[in-house]
Structure 1
């Protein structure tokens, strides 16, 4: 239910906060007091069309915040969860309207698109007026209302699931047909390519390994000459090692005679000999390791170039050659065994279609039976609403070849306002006042099934009075036993039925040459006085007060 509405700088409203309660709440006031401003503000918060003209003169922007107390499991919470928006506690919708026409939307203080705000708002509130009853236009809404009235939602869900299963099966058939057609047109090419790639047998990571091996062998070839020359210098016939060893021994024998002159010299020569011998060993090992069969380099290059050539030919990376071969094998398999699999998929799709058709036909039959019951329920409400000569017709057009996730039916709510006339869509046939009363009759017949938790009726009592207004009030009160109902009304008979009464009025702003719209909750004497004003006009008489008292307490 709508728990609170906060409005700031919208048209004639400076700052306004309204708390709402369950049951029936009426909003009354003189013409031009600002009742429509409240509804425009609520509509803005629910994702309705923005307009820079809504911003109060002198302000840069306006803002409307609507707070909803929503039970767990309500579709609005699921919608928020699906969009990763916190949905614990109250649901708070906020819309900021700037003077240049731009708007910003928020749900629970998180920025959202206006489309999401509109979807959430539509699940929480329905606004019905003489000139704005979109619910009366959309056949999809008519179908959902009929299903809700008849308790057909489980059957409708089963039909939707069967439809998705059938469409999925059809998609598989179409995809396999495309693969078979493609494989047929390229059969020879595929077979030759599979044979080629199978012989080539590319392996994951092979290109990188081959390129590294080739690089290593080519570098080894370049340094082999220098390694051999260095080894020959150290270990060949010109090696300094024998001469250094001979000199070291001679100097060793003369050390005692040199008087310390040779201290450390022999050791240094021995260290040099050791270093040269170590270098000889390392050079010999490097030479052995750098030796390779030139044919190995040739084989490596041939393999690498073959892989890269195949990749260029098939316009893929070398790493993807194996995957390409697997795909081609699968395409050939689809060509070779595709007809058998296609037949199996087609049979599955036909079975899914038959299942959908059976469920849709059963649902269609149930809808027709429920339609008669709904027509009878609505017909019971029409006479008291001054629609005694009118008729409500649930039109169901069935086309078994036009399959949708909702079944095979197009549901329309038609009306006939006078005997002998052709039934037609409510928006085309009924007048403004008749539209709203038809809607009220439908809502009462539906009870709370298929409705948002808050219903708003804008002046549905226009053009009627007396017993008809009394009947409207009674039905609004009955409806309010199951959902929250807000009604903008000029009818005292409707106002007297309310559990809560808000008066809308314009008053001058202190110290400024302008007026502002305000809202006052009424109770007791104030409520009686307001209903008396609605009865008598600007001059309230004792008789009007007595009549107001009778209306209020006669409804108790």
Structure 2
């Protein structure tokens, strides 16, 4: 559930800390008071696109934080744990928007992308917006409605993936059949290239080692001469560094403890003496181990020369030849597979058969869900003042199988007796569409695993007894989920477990918006205002009290 929402310097809000209770909470207020601020803030916490214009005038940035209790949401907890974002039973979604337009997002204090914020947000909250009715005019939304109610998304995703694999296999077969000669020529060239590279057999990191060894043997005489000269200077010559250090140490040793500077200096000389001894010993052993091998030198020269030739041929650096060989080998394997027409044909047939089986199962399950969903929608519409409603789902077989299945799905609707159902987009009126969308949203909410549902003015276009039915529906949803609803209908507001009013007010130089939790008496006055307009009379107050009591 949504535990709290913190808003700072966002549009008209300077600072708001809102604790969100369980149950059905209604949000009311005058037009233009800023009721949508809550939804806009939530949307940004859930990954909506940001605009610097939302930053309150005079501020540098807006800060929004939504805190959720995820203790009972296994999918969300698993998602957080997989990404090392868990923070116990609580989950914080934070968004900062700067006035220049750039924004940052965090989950439990860890920076994340907006895509990650949106993915998690879909597991935590669902917002039914004002534009939901218009989406019902799109045929694709009818199929999505069935999948939502029937929990068929996993099967639909499998069908889509198999369809993609089928199409890829079919394209690979067609390409192979059309390009047999070109692929054969390419395969022959790859065989030649790989033969040369395999004969060289250069391993990753080997070129650098070969080059170093060649350089050492090619310069053997100067290396030995300079090495012996250096060893004489260190320890074995007439006046070596080692002897000078020993003499300096012997001279200063009696005075070591007479000053901190001398103490530190003697310690440094001790270290230098040890390092010189060790360096001289290592150099002596190195020189003793060196041996000029003309045959080895000649072998190295030939191997490096071949590496340089192949590198020039393929326009790469010699050290990159092992990577080149790996890439060419992968391409060789792909070409061989493309040449195997029988295997490609088998892949097409296998994926096509799997697609048909999965898509047929999806079709049958969608038809089963549609059979129970149609009367459910019609029943809600009758309660919403449309007694003669008929609702059906038409399944239209596609001429060519698609990623979403074997059929298109279309809602058919009739509001009148004796009139056969027709495509919803062709016959529904604006008022009917609003009620249809409300019925659909309520049904989807009843089948949703998301614990927080937000309704933004879903009661537009209804009033009276119909609005009371809507309020009762939302209140019943509030018994099993956390419901937030922006409404202009007093009948809906009266059914809320909790009631907030959004108020806009002005100081000397600023306009502000605030959200106030209402007491029972304040609710009565607010419902009376919503019912009777600006002038609140004793009669409207009594009517409001009776609505709240009911």
Q: Could you tell me the TM-score, scaled by structure 1's length?
A: 0.70
Shift of 1:60: 3.4
Contact in 2 for aligned 1:412/1:425 (Cα 8 Å): no
C-alpha distance 71-385 of structure 1, shift in aligned 2 (>3 A) = farther
SS of residue matched to 2:27: strand
CA distance in 2, matches of 1:330, 1:10: 54
CA distance in 2, matches of 1:441, 1:546: 31
Out of 17-26 and 392-401, give the one that drifted further: 392-401
2:540 aligns with one of 541, 544, 551: 544
| 1:307-326 aligned within 5 A | 308-309=308-309, 312-313=312-313
CA distance in 2, matches of 1:202, 1:543: 97
Counterpart of 2:466?
Answer: 468
Out of 296-305 and 103-112, give the one that drifted further: 296-305
2:519 equivalent to 1:519 = no
CA distance in 2, matches of 1:548, 1:372: 41
SS of residue matched to 1:467: helix
Counterpart of 2:248?
Answer: none
C-alpha distance 347-519 of structure 1, shift in aligned 2 (>3 A) = same
Shift of 1:311: 5.2
Shift of 1:355: 1.3
Counterpart of 2:438?
Answer: 440
SS of residue matched to 1:349: helix
Out of 204-213 and 20-29, give the one that drifted further: 204-213
Q: Could you tell me the TM-score, scaled by structure 2's length?
A: 0.71
Per-residue deviation, residues 327-358 of structure 1 (Å, max 9, x unmatched): 889988988x8688541343133112201111
2:476 aligns with one of 470, 475, 478: 478
Shift of 1:214: 9.5
C-alpha distance 310-394 of structure 1, shift in aligned 2 (>3 A) = same
CA distance in 1, matches of 2:64, 2:527: 29
Per-residue deviation, residues 7-30 of structure 1 (Å, max 9, x unmatched): 223333222222222221111223
SS of residue matched to 2:517: strand
CA distance in 2, matches of 1:334, 1:519: 64
CA distance in 1, matches of 2:196, 2:101: 66
Contact in 2 for aligned 1:52/1:100 (Cα 8 Å): yes
| 1:248-267 aligned within 5 A | none
2:375 equivalent to 1:379 = no
SS of residue matched to 1:531: helix
1:449 aligns with one of 411, 424, 447: 447
Shift of 1:302: 6.0
| 1:40-439 aligned within 5 A | 40-77=40-77, 80=80, 85-86=85-86, 88-131=88-131, 136=136, 142-153=142-153, 155-156=155-156, 158-160=158-160, 162-163=162-163, 166=166, 182-186=182-186, 189=189, 202=201, 212=213, 216=217, 305=305, 308-309=308-309, 312-313=312-313, 341-388=340-387, 391-399=390-398, 401-404=400-403, 406-413=404-411, 422-425=422-425, 429-431=428-430, 434-439=432-437
Contact in 2 for aligned 1:391/1:417 (Cα 8 Å): yes
CA distance in 2, matches of 1:529, 1:550: 12
CA distance in 2, matches of 1:364, 1:86: 39
Out of 531-540 and 302-311, give the one that drifted further: 302-311
CA distance in 2, matches of 1:322, 1:548: 82
C-alpha distance 42-435 of structure 1, shift in aligned 2 (>3 A) = farther
CA distance in 1, matches of 2:375, 2:402: 29
CA distance in 2, matches of 1:353, 1:101: 48
CA distance in 1, matches of 2:503, 2:329: 80
Shift of 1:184: 1.2
**Gap runs ≥5 in structure 2:** 225-287
Shift of 1:46: 3.0
CA distance in 2, matches of 1:535, 1:207: 86
SS of residue matched to 1:473: helix
1:534 aligns with one of 530, 534, 542: 530
Counterpart of 1:282?
Answer: none
CA distance in 2, matches of 1:491, 1:196: 81
CA distance in 1, matches of 2:296, 2:532: 113
SS of residue matched to 2:39: helix
CA distance in 2, matches of 1:371, 1:112: 39
**Gap runs ≥5 in structure 1:** 224-285
CA distance in 1, matches of 2:41, 2:111: 19
Per-residue deviation, residues 59-79 of structure 1 (Å, max 9, x unmatched): 333333222223444544455
Q: Which has the larger radius of gyration?
A: 1
CA distance in 1, matches of 2:366, 2:160: 15
| 1:29-44 aligned within 5 A | 29-44=29-44
CA distance in 1, matches of 2:94, 2:212: 63
Out of 320-329 and 307-316, give the one that drifted further: 320-329
Per-residue deviation, residues 514-547 of structure 1 (Å, max 9, x unmatched): 5533222223333233323333333433333332
Shift of 1:2: 2.2
C-alpha distance 546-440 of structure 1, shift in aligned 2 (>3 A) = same
RMSD between aligned residues: 4.4
CA distance in 2, matches of 1:321, 1:51: 50
Contact in 1 for aligned 2:137/2:424 (Cα 8 Å): no
C-alpha distance 416-320 of structure 1, shift in aligned 2 (>3 A) = same
C-alpha distance 537-36 of structure 1, shift in aligned 2 (>3 A) = same
